[in-house]
């Protein structure tokens, strides 16, 4: 998927806008975990680590690998160019 730069959106908002099956119940406040994704190529991109709010939420979730992130906390920017993600089957709607 090609996403233009310069838009103030999160990855979650892009996924929802493209009708990917995630709920994102809290609307991006990092308190529901229903926008969770697995970043498959974290070593290849400059994603950076989760902020404190995201980390607190991630610690409560059944993340199967250390590459679990909240897509609502990932902003669309050049640093995620080439990101590869998987939506865990347990959160699909």
Residues forming the site for ligand FES (CB under 6 A): 12, 24-35, 57, 70, 72
Q: Which is nearer to ligand FES, 44 or 77 (CB)?
A: 77
CB of 30 to ligand FES, least distance (A): 5
Q: Which is nearer to ligand FES, 56 or 77 (CB)?
A: 56
Longest dimension (CA), the chain: 33
Q: Least CB distance from residue 16 to ligand FES, whole Å?
A: 9
Smaller CB separation from ligand FES, 3 or 26: 26
């Amino acid at each position: 998927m090609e996403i233009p730069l310069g838009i103030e959106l999160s990855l979650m908002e892009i996924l929802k806008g493209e009708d990917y099956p995630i709920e994102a119940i809290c609307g991006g406040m990092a308190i529901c975990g229903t926008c969770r994704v697995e970043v498959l190529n974290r070593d290849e991109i400059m994603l950076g680590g989760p902020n404190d709010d995201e980390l607190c939420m991630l610690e409560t979730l059944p993340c199967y690998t250390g590459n679990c992130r909240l897509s609502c906390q990932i902003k669309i920017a050049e640093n995620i160019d080439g990101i590869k993600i998987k939506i865990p089957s347990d959160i699909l709607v």
